[in-house]
Structure 1
Amino acid sequence: MRRIEIDDDVYAELERNVKGFEQPNDVLRRMLLGKSRPTPGSPGVPSAAAPSIPGALSDLIAQGFVKAGDTLRHVQVRKGRRFAATVERDGWIRTDIGRYREPSPALGKLVGTSIDGWAYWIHDPTGKSLRQLRAESGATGRGGR
C-alpha cells in the first residue's frame, strides 16, 4: 500500500464526506472512482467471511409478499419526521445511512433509539406493517417458519 500526505483542508473535506463508518481511503475511492467498498463489521454490513447471509425479509420475498425495490416507511407524526428504506433482492434493507439485515436495527439507527422495525416499518405497496406481512406468510418469528 502506498501512502500520501494531504493537508488539513483536504482531510477536513474527506471527513465531511464520510458515510457511515467509512475510512478516508473509502471516501476517496467513492469520490474519485465512483466505487464503494463497505467495511466489514460496519452496521448492517456482513463480515467478509459471510457475504451471502440472506436478510430477514428474504422469506417474504420468496413467498411474494414483498418484492425487491419495494419501499418501507416510518412516520413520526408528532416530530414531523419521515423515514424511508428500500428492500433489496437478498432481503436486506437499505436506508440513507446503511444496509441492514434486520428491520429493527435499520429503523433504530434512523430514529436514534431502539424500536421494533417489524411493527413500525410500513410496506408502502400494501400499507401493512412487516409484522402483519410476516404473520400472513405463516412465519413464526425471526427468519423461521
Structure 2
Amino acid sequence: MSKIIFNEHQRQVLEKNPNVASVSDRAIQYTAEFKIRAVKENLAGKGPAQIFIEAGFDLEMIGLKKAQSALSRWRTTYKTSGEPGLLEERRGKGSTGRPTSKQLSAEKKLEKAEARIKYLEAELELLKKLEALERQAKKRRF
C-alpha cells in the first residue's frame, strides 16, 4: 500500500488526466490504453519518469516510485499475457486465485476431505485434553 495519500484537490487534478480511469485517496487506476502505450515506450528505451511526465502526470504529486512500480507491474503482465493482459481487469471476481472445489477432481476432493477430517479429529482430541486439564485444575482448587 502506498504511503502517499492524495487530498481532494490532488484527486481532482489526477481525474482530469485522460490517462486516469479513477483515483482513490491512495491509488490511481490508469486506462488500459495508457498502460499499453507506457509499456511499449518503456521497452523502446524511455524511462518511467519521462513516460509519466509526457502523459501529463506531476511526479512530485504521485511520486517517482509509484510510476516505477506501476510500470514494472505492467511490463510483467505484458510479457506474460501480452496486450490482452493489460486490457482486462485482473482483480476481484474475475481473477485467477485459489481454485474452487468445483474444479477439483474426485480424487483431489477425497484427499482434501480426508485431510480435513484428520485435522478436525486432532482438534477434537486437543479440546478433550484441555477440558480434562481444566477439570483437574478445578478439583485441585476445591
Given the two structures, how large is their TM-score scaled by the length of structure 2?
0.26
Structure with bigger gyration radius: 2
Higher relative contact order (CA 8 A, sep 6+): 1
Instruction: Say which structure is richer in helix.
Output: 2
Instruction: Say which structure is richer in strand.
Output: 1
Given the two structures, how large is their TM-score scaled by the length of structure 1?
0.26
